[in-house]
Amino acid sequence: MIWKRQIPILIVTVIGLLTLFGWFIEQPTIQAFVDDDATQWYDILASFAIILGALNLLKLQGRKVIKQKEGWGYSLFAIGGFIFSILAGFVIKGSDSVAWGAHVTSKGTLFKWMFEYMFTPLSATMFALLAFFVASASYRAFRIRNFEATLLLVAGIIIMLGRVPIGSYISSWFVMYILVLVIGVAVNTKFGNKMVTFSTVLAGLLIVTVAGMLTGWPIDQPGIFYLPIIQEWIYYNPNVAGARAIMIGIGLGIFATSIRYILGIEKSYIGE
């Protein structure tokens, strides 16, 4: 029992503490362990994990083929592709002039041919199909249900239009006219009075029209209403702030999980 429970927990605790304090202690041995040894151990363990994952893949797909479960024909392609990749990577180079190891990136080898003419087109196909799923998810997310969904919809439209060439041809004055109509909708929702709404919209249209006539209708002025400038502000301010908040949350989650492993509270790696 001690070899299955206490010893693995002790190893994780010691290695975790060494790695953690290695970032705060200027001791050459500990720093060398954190920068070099721990990384190499991780690569070795990851290599064995890849091997186990590959064997598990063959096991699951082979079982599906043997029992001829639904979709077992696709499993044949998965097994065939796996075997072909292994042969191209470790058995057949396809070119005697290229050394082992370099054959994975050299022209004229079987592995390079597989990568360029099989893997790359299949990856492009997967990403092309992913675009339709993204469009479907965006449609569901952008439906106006509340104020937050409305902000998401407006920001998404501005980002999409501002990052394509057609966005630079949309005048800031057109955006101002749209903004006046939006203000009219908000006023009508707030007061429910047609005269107030009409007066607000009429005043806004007159102000925008007079200002445009006086300034000569420059397409990118005022800049605060020009789509490329608006999308750049959204991208580098609210978007960056949200991304930083997410990264801080991820960092705190990693820290909390690491502490649980170091203290022996989390035991999922030993099957508990």
Q: Which residues contact 169 (CB under 8 A, 6 or more apart)?
A: 219
> Per the structure, how many domains does the chain have?
1
Structural domain includes residue 18: no
Structural domain includes residue 159: yes
Structure tokens at 9: 């927990």
Domain that holds residue 217: 143-236
The residue-averaged pLDDT of 67-84 equals 90
Q: Work out the burial of residue 111: count CB atoms within 10 Å of its CB; fewer than 13 is exposed, 13-18 middle, 19 or more buried.
A: buried
Asked whether 58 and 82 are in contact (CB, 8 A), the reply is yes
Structural domain includes residue 241: no
Instruction: Using the structure block, give the residue that is written with the tokens 């990749």.
Output: 85
pLDDT digits (tens, 9 = 90+) for 207-222: 999 999 999 999 988 8
Structural domain includes residue 80: no
For residues 266 and 13, give the distance between their C-alpha atoms in angstroms, rounded to a whole number.
11
pLDDT digits (tens, 9 = 90+) for 91-136: 888 877 788 888 888 888 888 999 999 999 999 999 888 878 877 7
Phi-psi region of 153 (alpha: psi -120 to 50; beta: other; left: phi over 0): alpha
For residues 219 and 174, give the distance between their C-alpha atoms in angstroms, rounded to a whole number.
9
pLDDT digits (tens, 9 = 90+) for 51-60: 899 899 899 9
Structural domain includes residue 88: no
Structural domain includes residue 117: no
